[in-house]
Structure 1
């Protein structure tokens, strides 16, 4: 953060409350707008997707259908860890750090898996280093490419109807911000994320450029 960053004005409690109440009106508008976008997202059409894509997990070969674990919905995070790499993408790693306990998703008939093109032993070594327990499999074949993330990252959402699988949603880039709770907390603070795009010269980093693996800060 720049030493010249402008700090918030110091005011009386009554003045602070007036400003806070005015912002609350906008926050509620944003919440309603986000709810409307979520509803529109749920109404997106879907495309039939091959359920036979293969992956390798700790228990052996799995298909895309297997990843659902019998649930109706599947969220897949496409993680940037290529064969031969010893460490994964710092941004992807920060996102996985923010994945909560799976029981909450399971309670809503939803499974989450992380996938990467690295070999399973490479994935397991990196998971152990990071202390993660999130379900993770190695992609075999063209799954990432067919999801439009060959060499990149993203989030794909699938719906299962019996043995039929449909792709319903995809996002990448800053669309992944919504999955990083750390950023949501920083957005509550006066110094924010301390990135260059924020007002007041709060930093020089581009979005995500300051992120590191949690054992490298």
Structure 2
């Protein structure tokens, strides 16, 4: 049986391809510069204090939101959609976790990355085992806590995915940023996670407020098993 031929891009000469590529790269560079400017604006966002005490269930039992920072200044929470009565986690959230960066690189920038879901911790661990996720990204349960509702991850219409960013000043916790829907599509590398935080990548080329922690690029990053050496 005859089938319709699969469409493909136009075939051109090497010179024509290089010309078209160079024209596109100019636009891509413009987009990169625009993203840098947007990240700089994000680093200057105001913040709101987290006044309520939250208890989450982790590997060693009940912990506070402050404990989740693990002593670091910044915290990124991925709100993983997993309701208490579900038998499996959200497929879209699972795609994101499949691509999640190794947390050691974020830890080197004083930033913790965790996941929080409303399902009981036992279900979370069963699903983690099913998915074969061995990277050490902590996964906390907010079951019987107001955490999901207060931070927009559970609404009257059900569960929502998203990413919340927090910073602490001593024992005081502040929420600095939130994104949901397609706003999480870019997440995967350590760079895209750090770009969500108040301190950013913490490199000298960035446009950050005076006094922000910064180092030269390419002098701090290591292989993920070398940071403690």
Give the TM-score range, shorter chain: 0.7 to 0.9
Q: Quick one: distance in 1 between partners of 2:111 and 2:133?
A: 19
How big is each residue's C-alpha offset from its partner over 1:41-88, in whole Å with a ceiling of 9 and x where there is no partner?
111110001362110011011110001000000000111111132210
Q: Which moved more, 1:30-39 or 1:45-54?
A: 45-54
**1:158 maps to 2:166:** yes
The corresponding residue for 2:85 is 84
TM-score (norm 2): 0.75
3-state secondary structure, aligned to 2:185: helix
From the superposition, tell whether residues 131 and 142 of structure 1 become closer, same or farther in structure 2 (CA, over 3 Å): same
TM-score (norm 1): 0.79
Given that 1:159 and 1:167 are in contact with CA atoms closer than 8 Å, whether structure 2 keeps it comes out as yes
Given that 1:51 and 1:64 are in contact with CA atoms closer than 8 Å, whether structure 2 keeps it comes out as no
How big is each residue's C-alpha offset from its partner over 1:142-161, in whole Å with a ceiling of 9 and x where there is no partner?
11111112121110000011
3-state secondary structure, aligned to 1:178: coil
From the superposition, tell whether residues 161 and 59 of structure 1 become closer, same or farther in structure 2 (CA, over 3 Å): same
3-state secondary structure, aligned to 2:186: helix
Misfit runs of 4+, over 6 Å = none
Q: Quick one: distance in 1 between partners of 2:52 and 2:25?
A: 45
Q: 1:118, CA displacement in angstroms?
A: 0.5
| Residues 196-215 of structure 1 aligned to structure 2 (within 5 Å) | none
Q: Quick one: distance in 2 between partners of 1:51 and 1:162?
A: 16
Q: Quick one: distance in 2 between partners of 1:86 and 1:148?
A: 22
Structure 2: gaps of 5 or more residues:
190-229
Q: Quick one: distance in 2 between partners of 1:4 and 1:141?
A: 55
The corresponding residue for 1:67 is 68
Q: 1:117, CA displacement in angstroms?
A: 0.6
The corresponding residue for 2:108 is 107
**1:177 maps to 2:185:** yes
From the superposition, tell whether residues 128 and 136 of structure 1 become closer, same or farther in structure 2 (CA, over 3 Å): same
Equivalent residue for 1:141, pick from 130, 138, 145: 145
3-state secondary structure, aligned to 1:165: strand
3-state secondary structure, aligned to 1:62: strand
- Aligned-residue CA RMSD in angstroms? 1.6
| Residues 93-104 of structure 1 aligned to structure 2 (within 5 Å) | 93-104=94-105
Q: Quick one: distance in 2 between partners of 1:51 and 1:145?
A: 12
The corresponding residue for 2:42 is 41
Q: Quick one: distance in 2 between partners of 1:107 and 1:71?
A: 10
Structure 1: gaps of 5 or more residues:
182-217
Q: Quick one: distance in 1 between partners of 2:15 and 2:141?
A: 56
